[in-house]
Amino acid sequence: MRDDELQSLCAIYQKLLRMCDWVISVKFADALEGDDKLGTVEHQGETQSAVITLLSKAAYATGKASISGYDVPRVLCHELLHCKFYMLGDEKSDPAVEFAIDSVAEALVCLNGRAKQ
């Protein structure tokens, strides 16, 4: 998947999440800070803007991430949900927030996949 295809996928999930008023840039990177990360987001909730970076599939395939499984739509949706729910706080201070975001991301991607079938 290329960056422009990732941006198109982002637009689909932004629409589903009612986030069309957000300005979000997405891109792939060959490395992210931390061995266990597949994606990161830098967001400004007040201005509704964000930059989402996902680990490239090539980097994942070479073992640069220590977690198993890599689903681009799920990781993208997960990072978008961090934007949507930024007011809930930081997952580093509350692991329940991270768990909830991950669960909703998985469900949304699953439901969206079924809708296309």
Domain count, the chain: 1
Looking up residue 81, the CATH number of its domain turns out to be 3.30.2010
Domain of residue 60 covers: 3-116
Residue-wise pLDDT for 1-46, tens only, equals 889 999 999 999 999 999 999 999 999 988 887 667 888 889 998 8
Per-residue pLDDT averaged across 89-113, rounded?
83
Residue 58 — pLDDT band, cuts 50, 70, 90?
A: confident
Beta bridge partners of 25: 51
**Cα 34 from Cα 36, distance rounded (Å):** 6
**Cα 66 from Cα 36, distance rounded (Å):** 5
Residue 117 — pLDDT band, cuts 50, 70, 90?
A: very low
The mean pLDDT of the chain is: 84
Contact 78, 52 (CB under 8 A): no
Look at residue 68 in the predicted model and tell me its pLDDT.
57
As a whole number of Å, the CA-based R_g of the chain is 14
Contact 69, 62 (CB under 8 A): no
Range with the lowest mean pLDDT among 48-52, 72-76, 109-113? Answer: 109-113
**Cα 34 from Cα 113, distance rounded (Å):** 30
Look at residue 87 in the predicted model and tell me its pLDDT.
79
Alpha helical stretches, state H, 1-117: 3-16, 57-61, 72-84, 95-116
Look at residue 114 in the predicted model and tell me its pLDDT.
63
**Cα 15 from Cα 11, distance rounded (Å):** 6
Look at residue 26 in the predicted model and tell me its pLDDT.
96
What is each CA distance from 14 to 64, 66, 68, in whole angstroms?
A: 28, 28, 26
Model pTM score: 0.85
